[in-house]
Structure 1
Amino acid sequence: MARSKKAKNPVGATSKSLKIIDELKQRDGAGITELADALDASKGTVHNHLSTLEEHEYVVKEDSTYRLGLRFLDLGEYTRQQTKLFEVAKAEIDDLANETGEIANLMIEEHGRGIYIYISKGDKAVNLDTHVGTRQYLHTSAVGKSILSKMGDEQFKRIIELHGLPAETANTVTSKEKLLDELDEIRDRGVAFDGEERAEGIRCVAAPITDNDDNLLGGVSISGPSTRLKGDRLHQEIPEKVQHVATVIGINAFYS
C-alpha cells in the first residue's frame, strides 16, 4: 500500500527533515539517539537536521530532547485561514455543536485523506483523539465517507490505490465492494453513518458539503458516544440537523 505520491526528483535532505518532524510529532519529542534508531540514520545526520530546524525555530531543544516549535502553529493557522470553507462554516459548526451538545466537525480532502479544519464541542461532548489538523483515512468515518460519496470514479480509484482500506477498528469497512455499496446508500439518503468504525464506542453522522453547482467542498459531521447516538436521534434528529448545516454552508460558500 503506497503512502504517498512519489516525487520525480526527490531531495533527500528535505525528505529526511520531514521524517524527523513526523517522528518528533509521533513521539511527543525525542533525543538524537532515539531519532537515529527510528530512522536508521547516523546520529551526526540527525543532529545536523535538528540543528538546522532549531536555527529556523521549527524545533525547540530542552536539555537533550527536541520537540516541535510553535512556529508550526503559525503556519497551520495561516493555512486554515486560506481555506474559504473555514470562514463561511465556522459559525454554523459552532451552532451545530451547541444545538446537539456533541462534537461538530468540518473536514476537507487533501492528498486522499480527510483533514479536520475545524472542530467545535458542545456541552456534553466527549474527549476524542481528533483535533484540528488530524488526518484520517476517508473510509473510516461517516464524514470521510460522505466526502467519498461525492467524488468521481477516477478520483475515488486514485485514493484507494494510494492509501488502500486499512482497518482502524474491527468494524471498519475494508472491502472495496462493500464500501461502494455503502457510498450508493449515502447518495440515496444524503447522509452517512459509521458504526464505531474509527473508534470503539463512538458513532458519527455526516453529510457532504457541495456548492450550488454540486462541486464537492468537504463534509460536516456530529460525533458522540453510541449510548447517546441511537434510535430516532441517530436516524432522524441528527441527520436533519447535519444536512441543514451542510446545505447552508454550501450556499454561503457559493455566494461568498
Structure 2
Amino acid sequence: MAEDPIEELANTTGEVVWVFVEEHGYAVHLLKAVGDHGVQTHGELGKRSQLHHLASGKAILAHLPQERVDEILDGDTLPAKTENTVTDVDELTEELATVRERGYAFNTEETVLGLQTVGAPILKDRRDVVGAVSVCGPATRMQGARLESDIPEALLRTTNQIELQLSY
C-alpha cells in the first residue's frame, strides 16, 4: 500500500524515501524509493537499526504505548552514531513529546553527518503506529523552509494517504 505513495513522494522531493516498521525494538528498513537527486546511504532493505537516531524511529517511538517505549529503551545505552545523536533517555523522551505534538520528527545529522531526515508515523485508525515514512537528503538541500515545512507537509500528505488505504 505504501509503494505508490512513496514513489510519488520521492519524485516530488527528488530525495530518498524510506518506509520503516518496528520489530523487536528495532527499526527495519522495509521499502525504499529514490528521487532524481537521492543520495545513497548505508540503508539497505531488511537492515535493522536502533530507533533513537532515526527520524522514523523517533516517529514510531513517539506513538508507541509508553510501556513499550520503556521496554525498548530499558537498559539501552543509546549509542551515538555521530556527535549529534541524542544519547540521553530523558532528552529523547522530551523530543518524543514534541514529535507527538508536531506530528513528525527530525534527524539532524544524527545518523550520518551531512544527512538530514524528516520522519512521520503511519497510524492505523489514528492511534496505532504501524510504521513510519522518512525523507532523507543532504543537509545542504534539507534546510530552512524546505526542511521545516515543505518536506513535512508533503510527508504528512503521504502518510495520510497510506493510512487511508490501511483503513479502507
Fold match by TM threshold 0.5 = yes
Moved over 3 A (4+): none
Instruction: State whether structure 2 residue 124 is matched by structure 1 residue 211.
Output: yes
Contact map agreement 1:112 1:162 (CA 8 A) in 2: no
- Please tell me whether residue 240 in structure 1 is matched to residue 157 in structure 2: no
Equivalence for 1:191: 104
Equivalent position of 2:29 in the other structure: 116
| Deviation larger for 153-162 or 176-185 | 153-162
Identity %: 38
Q: d(CA) in 1 for partners of 2:140 and 2:83? A: 19
Number of residue-to-residue matches in the alignment: 168
SS in 1 for 2:98: helix
1:226 Cα offset (Å): 0.2
CA distance in 2 between partners of 1:238 and 1:137 (Å): 23
Give, in angstroms, the shift of residue 164 of structure 1.
Answer: 3.4
**2:85 corresponds to:** 172
CA distance in 1, matches of 2:13, 2:27: 23
Segments of 5+ residues of structure 2 without an aligned counterpart are none
Runs of 5+ unmatched residues, structure 1: 1-87
Match of 2:136 among 218, 223, 227: 223
Q: Map 1:103-142 onto structure 2 (within 5 A).
A: 103-142=16-55
The structure having more radius of gyration, on CA atoms, is: 1
Aligned position for 1:202? 115
SS at match of 2:63: coil
Q: Give per-residue Cα distances to partners, 1:79-128, cap 9 Å, x unaligned.
A: xxxxxxxxx11111111101100000100000100001001100101111
* SS of the residue 2:100 aligns to: helix
- 1:101 maps to 14
Partner of 1:22: none
Tell me how large the CA RMSD over aligned residues is.
1.0
- CA distance in 2: counterparts of 1:229 and 1:91, whole angstroms: 23
| Structure with the higher fraction of residues in helix conformation | 1
Normalized against structure 2, the TM-score is what? 0.97
Q: Secondary structure at the match of 2:21?
A: strand
Contact 1:192/1:206 (8 A) holds in 2: yes
- Mapped to 2, the partners of 1:134 and 1:201 lie a distance apart of 21
Q: What is the correspondence of 1:7-46 to structure 2 with a 5 Å cutoff?
A: none
How do 1:157-168 and structure 2 match up within 5 A?
A: 157-161=70-74, 163-168=76-81
- Name the one with the larger strand percent: 2
1:82-93 equivalences in 2 (<5 Å): 88-93=1-6
Quick one: which amino acid aligns to residue 70 of structure 2? K
User: Which one-letter code corresponds to 1:110 in the other structure?
Assistant: E
Q: Kindly indicate whether structure 1 or structure 2 has the higher relative contact order, using CA contacts under 8 Å at least 6 residues apart.
A: 2
Partners of 1:112 and 1:213 lie apart in 2 by: 21
Distance in 2 between the 1:246 and 1:213 partners?
A: 11
Corresponding residue of 1:145: 58
2: CA distance between counterparts of 1:243 and 1:202? 20
